[in-house]
Amino acid sequence: MLNTQPWSLEIRDRDVLLFERTDLVLRYQDPPGRDRAISSGAAVANLRLGLRMIGRGGSLSLLPDTHRPELVARFTMTGTAQPSDEDRRWHAAITRRRSYRRQFTRQQVSAARLDMLLRAAPVGDVRAIPLRDPEHLAVLAG
């Protein structure tokens, strides 16, 4: 998110805690904090993947404390885990991430490309759903 780190990590015994940094507000670019929340979600995915890459297994709890909404996730290490080939591919992709800063066009994505993206999307609890209905698109834009 614009070269910021809108989250912080704390390590406590076997727990790795990821907090959303509520002190970091981009008043003009992200007033409601949606980009900050998306960045925190990406950090959770990378945290879980990174821990697997160093052989750590465990459990992930999202939004684990209703009294501390800034606590986004708690990963409790409870053993070992071997990274899969897919984990290695995802881990290698982290450094290849790029920002797209140009204006989007209304060009349609080909059916083959969309099918490929939808097959690649499910990772853990994450999935992609194409929005085709104008009403659904309006809700997302809102």
Count of structural domains within the chain:
1
Spatial separation of the C-alpha atoms in residues 97 and 93, rounded to whole Å: 7
Asked if residue 141 belongs to a domain, the reply is no
Q: What is the mean pLDDT of the chain?
A: 84
Convert the pLDDT of each residue in 37-85 to its tens digit.
888 888 898 898 999 999 999 999 998 899 998 999 999 999 999 999 9
Asked if residue 126 belongs to a domain, the reply is no
Asked if residue 86 belongs to a domain, the reply is yes
Q: Residue 31 sits in which domain range?
A: 7-99
Helix (H) or strand (E) segment spanning residue 72: strand 71-80
Predicted TM-score of the model (pTM): 0.69
Query: How many CA atoms does the CB half-sphere of 46 hold within 13 Å?
Result: 14
Asked if residue 21 belongs to a domain, the reply is yes
Asked if residue 131 belongs to a domain, the reply is no
Query: With contact defined as beta carbons under 8 Å apart, do 57 and 49 qualify?
Result: no
Query: Given this model, what pLDDT does residue 71 score?
Result: 94
